[in-house]
Structure 1
Amino acid sequence: MSDLIVKVGGEGGTDSPTTAGELITLSAIREGNSVFTLRTLPAEIKGGLATYQVRMCDHEVLSPGDGPDVLCCMNQEAYDRLLDELKPDGGVLVYDSDTVTPSPHANGFIYYGVPLSSISAESIKERRTKNMVLLGALAGLFGIPVETLKQTVKDKYGRRSEEVVAVNNAAIDAGFQFVEQELPKLDSHHFTPNPDNRETRRMVIDGSEAVAIGAAAAHCAVYAGYPITPASDIMHWLAKHLPKLGGTVIQTEDEISALGACLGASFAGARTMTATSGPGLSLMVELLGLGTMTELPVVVVDAMRGGPSTGLPTKCESGDLNLAVYGAHGDAPRIVVAPADIHDCLYDTIGAFNLAEKYQTPVILLSDQSMAMRTQAIAKPDLSQVELVQRKIEREQGRDFKRYELTEDGISAMAVPGTPTDQYHLVTGLAHDETGSPSTNDGELSAAMMDKRLRKIQAARLEGGWSRLHGPDRGAIGVISWGSLEGALVEATERLAAEGHAVRVLHLRMLSPLPIEELEAFAATVDKLVVCELNHSGQLQRLIRAETELKPGLINKYDGVPFTPREIASALRKEL
């Protein structure tokens, strides 16, 4: 099977390594490959090290892999910081021989020096084509079809002008010709097209676009948000497309007003969503409590990044689980879900809307930086088959309407202001009675309302389809996971299975309410239990220990970079 990992590193905004990576990715997809990307950006607007890693396979790919087979260094910083990631014994370094001074060859690396800067400046007369010269060199070295690269360039830049396309294609040709004339092939790596998959109907999207498409498919009518990395691309997509579907997009002055606008629109009967990252979610805490108290449906997307405070704006971490589950004064139960891949980002967003509307509550969807910026080709969804849950609306009652009626399942009918049935109720953050009128001196009623709100959230435990099992029916070890590491974890357990070790995986996509019965049933099938997650404190591990009798161990990482299958496999071997 073909499996090639290429990583490009250089100065953000000058070398444009991410553009080179995107074009490789799109070309590989055009040739029928499955891809998995990992993009990191500097926190600075311009400058700093930017990287783009793409794994290209002729079979389904679940993770970015263990490290690059081919490392492309467009400046010295990329070489100095990334060389240790290159696979030993056959790893290939492609570098700009004008700007990079490599150390003596080590670890069995194969070095190809290409004068990217001088070719772009002297032959093409355009320094900004340095990344295109690199693409041509990669085509020559590893067999990426040149015409496919050129067609991808045309698709990306054709709207600008024919001249832009011609200059970029000339740079690709120059890089290719240099390799053909100057660099004999010394390594064994090759790109392998998959002709059988070329015509498959697929769409190429990243995690942010998938969330946005899911929101549109869920009939989101109002999106309000404030820009923040790495969640801003959700708003960018919706600002372009949602108005065409009859929806409204509002850029507010901050995250507090964004959620406030969503709650107001929800009270008026609209399906609403906002998106942010950890610092923004912190600001939303008070209004999350208001959403819980007023029982208003809203979806809040948190594209997590490294924290605390401003933290690591462009790096990956799953450190907001505690904030998502517990972030409020008083008891403010809410539903928390977390997709694991691009497919989930689309469909779990739809699911989050359905949960919010059914249970009349804020639903927090936890994505992360790596997933938000990850590109994959997925099957084009048939959105005509999507089933949407509608909120429970009372259309018959009059002035005795009880918005917060104490029902057996905790769900009471809502009303849309201005309906001709003359329904009337208050919405307040104060403790209230069944009509919504403030009732701050009746402790018994306040407790009953608290129980009502908790009752409906606990009922969400019975919702199916929010977890996945992998591996044999029984195992020496069972791994509970959440977030974007599922693919790497599954690859790791497959490697261990080949070594004769039985490892089971339970990947959770609903984290609040915690599926206690499912966790206990899973634990009964394994000899030892661990949680694998991307944060320092073991937030899911602690949540499980708090809500069950289970005492799982912990495998964790918190350096801003996702787990690799090799890292997880190594950690699990120590647990066996």
Structure 2
Amino acid sequence: MISQLSWKVGGQQGEGIESTGEIFCIALNRLGYYLYGYRHFSSRIKGGHTNNKIRVSTTEVRAISDDLDILVAFDQETIDVNFHELRTGGIVIADAKFNPTIPDSTNVTLYAVPFTDIATELGTSLMKNMVAVGASSAVLGLDESVYLDVVQGIFGRKGQQIVDKNMEAVKRGSEYMKELLGEKGSIMRLNPADGQNRLFMIGNDAIAFGALAGGARFMAAYPITPASEIMEYLIKKLPKVGGTVIQTEDEIAACTMAIGANYGGVRTLTASAGPGLSLMMEAIGLAGITETPLVIVDTQRGGPSTGLPTKQEQSDLMAMIYGTHGEIPKVVIAPSTVEEAFYDAAEAFNIAEEYQVPVILLTDLQLSLGKQTVDPLDYSKVSVRRGKLDLNAQPEIENKEYFKRYEVTEDGISPRVIPGTKNGIHHVTGVEHAETGKPSEGAANRIAQMDKRMRKLNALSKNFNNPVYANAKHDDADLLLVGFNSTRGTIEEAMERLEQDGLKVNHAQIRLIHPFPTEELLPLIKSAKRVVVVENNATGQLANIIKMNLGNSEKISSLLKYDGNPFLPKEIYNECKKGVVLNGNI
């Protein structure tokens, strides 16, 4: 019996690889296991190698495993590309159709199962993925009946005959595998799970759900990997609460449409990736100078230009903080788990309206598309706060003056009304303006308006809930590991291994990137002998931001990875053990 397992399925895109992993995972999730998945796929609709690596555990996991127990292969390329991950004693379950081979002199066992032939006998080769699921289940000692509800939910609308055929494919795959295993039986039987009901979702779904819970009722967006699932989720859900989604002609239109809707009083978001955010920059500046609330999701991917559109990277950090021309107040939030993505998405709308600023919710491909088990969400933590916007009040004005929409206030936040409010008439323009919104180029007015806008965020880091997630057990740590977004779970695993080796290690995951949480992070930096910043980019962007805000550059090193793949726990562990040189990479 084992408490943890790593399983991967691979083949050509369009062969049902994603659905194979999905069906396998949903069934195990419903049994109460914890799962963490990462899908490697090419930037094309069909063809090209793809794989889905799933970690199954009786306890919570937040990272991809270093090695692999079971590899399910639909072609020889899958074996060639992924074989090196298999641990001693691992197995390959491959479609017999392509006469699979594995390297000689290895402690890995190959089982050839006729996925395609069995599926064809049942009516269509498309069901070969279900045969593979059945074969995997036999290895784990799972009864094929655990898939019945999953198959019913996925194929039920196509009729009971399709459901029965797919279940028969699972059964046949399981029976064939049992024959191959013989007396060995289920060689990787998992310890029983706790049977608890948990969610199983990707970060993008959590963001979309959080936006819905936070009161968003409109989304304008243009499809782009890896952000499209946010729009796809809300297309289905928003109409149920009186909202809508519009697919625009480009990201410029999406951002300006979102600004217009927010100006009208509707909580609105848009979502994109690096190339789309580049197109939005001028519009983000418009939101900044007109002090219009705006929520934007940036799902980072490999760049520049089209770059690696389906691969992991964290290289938009500087652009999100400094990309707009001129100077505006802006908030950049970086959730590090799927749960945080839900709560932070809801909170982003509160921050945008309370401070009347653009808020960028920054994620990365691993967090946005990686599917994982999530404990039940606490909806009581979600609130709607609209700041200085009272939809039922009428502002008082003197002598029929225009409403002072951009009134200079002590906290930098001006009163706000929506169009059509009695006594609320004011001018809105992208040029510098006076308190009533009328254009003004006077030097004194410019200083007053700039200072007003820039002091809005003075108190945000104190009011933001948990701007730095800290696991700091030591007052005098040998090492502080710092990261953002999806690296949290991987860093935590590496940290545990380093602690077992006798090192005193603290961990800080930065959740509020801008304005930077200096007061929260500085004590952790000072108390550590050495600081290693872990990030998926080539220039150490987070490390440079830390140095700009906190100094201490002599003790800060970078651990960088920018080949399109996420970090593995062993990579962080190994590099920290041998000592990371400044600006080093793996």
Is TM-score (shorter-chain normalized) higher than 0.5? Answer: yes
Deviations 1:375-413 (A, max 9, x none): 223233242442222131263223342111111211111
Contact preservation (8 Å) 2:339, 2:377? no
Q: How big is each residue's C-alpha offset from its partner over 1:245-277, in whole Å with a ceiling of 9 and x where there is no partner?
A: 122211111110111011011111111100101
For 1:407 and 1:571, the matched residues in 2 are separated by 51
Give 1:181 shift.
2.0
2:172 to 171, 174, 177: 174
- Would you say the 8 A contact 1:470–1:504 is kept in 2? yes
1:267-416 correspondence to structure 2 within 5 Å = 267-393=263-389, 395-398=394-397, 399-416=401-418
Partner in structure 2 of residue 111 of structure 1: 110
The residue number in structure 2 matching 1:449 is 449
* 8 A Cα contact 2:206 2:338, kept in partner: yes
Structure 1 counterpart of 2:234, which letter?
L
Q: Secondary structure at the match of 1:90?
A: strand
Q: Is 1:149 aligned to residue 147 of structure 2? A: yes
Query: C-alpha separation between the residues in 1 aligned to 2:257 and 2:385?
Result: 22
Match of 1:230 in 2: 226
Give the AA of the match of 1:429: G
Partner of 2:44: 44
Counterpart in the other structure of 1:557: 561
State the shift of 1:189 in Å: 4.9
Q: 1:437 to 1:71 in 2, by over 3 A?
A: same
Residue 278 of structure 1: how far off its partner (Å): 0.8
For 1:514 and 1:272, locate their aligned partners in 2 and report how far apart those are by CA, in whole Å: 25
CA distance in structure 1 between the aligned counterparts of 2:419 and 2:470, rounded to whole angstroms: 44
TM-fit CA distance, 1:30: 1.4
How has the CA–CA distance of structure 1 residues 189 and 285 changed in structure 2, closer, same or farther, with 3 Å as cutoff? farther
CA contact (8 A) 2:10 2:17 kept: yes
**Matched AA of 2:552:** L
SS of 2:89 mapped into structure 1 = coil
CA deviation vs aligned residue, 1:267-311 (integer Å, no higher than 9, x gap): 111111001011100100100111111111111001111111011
Q: Which amino acid aligns with 1:143?
A: G
> What is the CA-CA distance between 1:17 and the residue it aligns to?
1.3
Q: Is the 8 A contact 2:259 2:287 kept in 1?
A: yes
Equivalent residue number for residue 462 of structure 2: 462
- Say which SS state the counterpart of residue 78 (structure 1) adopts: helix
Partner of 1:95: 94
User: 1:62 Cα deviation (Å)?
Assistant: 1.8
Amino acid paired to 2:445: L
**Which amino acid in structure 1 is aligned with residue 132 of structure 2?**
L
Report the Cα distance in structure 2 between the residues aligned to 1:443 and 1:545, rounded to whole angstroms: 34
SS at match of 1:91: strand
Could you tell me how far apart the structure 1 residues matched to 2:371 and 2:408 are?
46
- How far residue 221 of structure 1 moved from its aligned partner, in angstroms, is 2.1
RMSD of Structure 2 on Structure 1 (CA): 1.7
Pick aligned residue for 2:134 from 109, 133, 136: 136
Q: CA deviation at 1:117?
A: 2.0
Residue 459 of structure 1 deviates from its aligned partner by 2.5
Aligned match of 1:2:
3
1:80 corresponds in structure 2 to 80
Q: CA–CA distance in 2 between the matches of 1:429 and 1:492?
A: 48
Shift of 1:473: 2.3
Which deviations, in whole Å up to 9, do the C-alpha atoms of 1:395-435 show, x marking residues without a partner? 32233421111112111111111012x21111111011111
Taking the aligned partners of 2:484 and 2:328, their CA distance within structure 1 comes to 22
Q: Decide whether the 8 Å contact of 2:32 with 2:197 is kept in 1.
A: no
Asked if 1:480 corresponds to 2:482, the answer is yes
Distance in 2, Cα, partners of 1:334 & 1:100: 57
Structure 1 residues 189 and 519, CA gap change in structure 2 (3 angstroms): farther
Distance 1:205 1:104, change over 3 A: closer
- For 2:256, the equivalent position in structure 1 comes to 260
How much does 1:18 deviate? 1.2
**105-114 vs 538-547, which moves further:** 105-114
Provide the secondary structure at the position in 1 that maps to 2:327: coil
Change (3 A) 1:307 1:162: same
TM-score with structure 1 setting the length: 0.95
**CA 1:180/1:530 → structure 2, altered by over 3 Å: closer, same or farther?**
closer
Kept in 1: contact 2:65–2:568 (CA 8 A): yes
The residue number in structure 1 matching 2:67 is 67
- Between the aligned partners of 2:187 and 2:485, the Cα distance in structure 1 is 32
For residue 391 of structure 1, give the secondary structure of its aligned residue in structure 2. coil
Q: Secondary structure at the match of 2:508?
A: strand
Distance (Å, rounded) in 2 between the aligned partners of 1:103 and 1:179: 18
- Is the contact between residue 274 and residue 300 of structure 1 (CA under 8 Å) also seen in structure 2? yes
How far apart are the structure 1 equivalents of 2:329 and 2:491?
30
Contact 2:138–2:186 under 8 Å retained in 1: no
**1:136 to partner: Cα distance:** 1.1
Partners in 1 of 2:199 and 2:241 — Cα distance?
20
| 1:187–1:566 Cα change, 3 Å | farther
Q: CA deviation at 1:160?
A: 1.8
Q: 1:573: how far off?
A: 0.9
**SS of equivalent residue, structure 1 residue 532:** strand
Q: Is the 1:4–1:191 Cα contact (8 Å) retained in structure 2?
A: no
Say which SS state the counterpart of residue 171 (structure 2) adopts: helix
Moved more, 393-402 or 18-27: 393-402
Q: In the alignment, which residue of structure 2 is the partner of 1:424?
A: 425
How far the C-alpha of 1:461 sits from its partner, in A, is 2.0
Shift of 1:466: 2.2
How far did residue 225 of structure 1 move? 0.6
Q: Give the superposition deviation at 1:535.
A: 1.0
- Percent identity for Structure 1 against Structure 2: 38
How big is each residue's C-alpha offset from its partner over 1:9-37, in whole Å with a ceiling of 9 and x where there is no partner? 011112x1111111111111111101111
Taking the aligned partners of 2:485 and 2:199, their CA distance within structure 1 comes to 22
**SS state at 1:183 partner:** helix
When structure 1 is superposed on structure 2, of 213-222 and 518-527 the one drifting more is 518-527
Question: Does 2:540 match 1:538?
Answer: yes
Q: CA deviation at 1:542?
A: 1.1
Amino acid at match of 2:424: Q
- 2:583 is aligned to none
Q: 2:525 aligns with which of 523, 526, 536?
A: 523
Change (3 A) 1:51 1:360: same
Q: Secondary structure at the match of 1:45?
A: coil
Displacement of 1:187 in angstroms is 9.5
In structure 1, C-alpha distance between the alignment counterparts of 2:315 and 2:188, rounded to whole Å: 38
Identify the range of structure 1 (203-212 vs 386-395) with the bigger mean alpha-carbon deviation. 386-395
Change in 2 beyond 3 A, CA 1:134/1:144 = same
Deviation at 1:522, TM superposition (A): 1.0
State the shift of 1:93 in Å. Answer: 1.5
Q: For residue 504 of structure 2, what is the amino acid of its counterpart?
A: A
Deviations 1:80-126 (A, max 9, x none): 21112222x222211122215314334421221212222222x3231
**Structure 1 counterpart of 2:569, one-letter code:** P
- Amino acid of the residue matched to residue 363 of structure 2? S
For these two proteins, the number of residue pairs brought into alignment is 569
Which SS does the other structure have where 1:566 is aligned? helix
Q: Distance in 1 between matches of 2:130 and 2:541?
A: 44
Q: Which residue of 1 aligns with 2:574?
A: 570
Given that residues 30 and 198 in structure 2 are in contact (C-alpha distance below 8 angstroms), is that contact kept between their aligned partners in structure 1? no
Q: C-alpha distance in 1, partners of 2:182/2:446?
A: 78
Contact 2:75 2:100 in 1 (8 A): no
Give the corresponding residue for 1:215. Answer: 211
Q: Residues of 1 paired with 2:243 and 2:105: CA distance?
A: 57
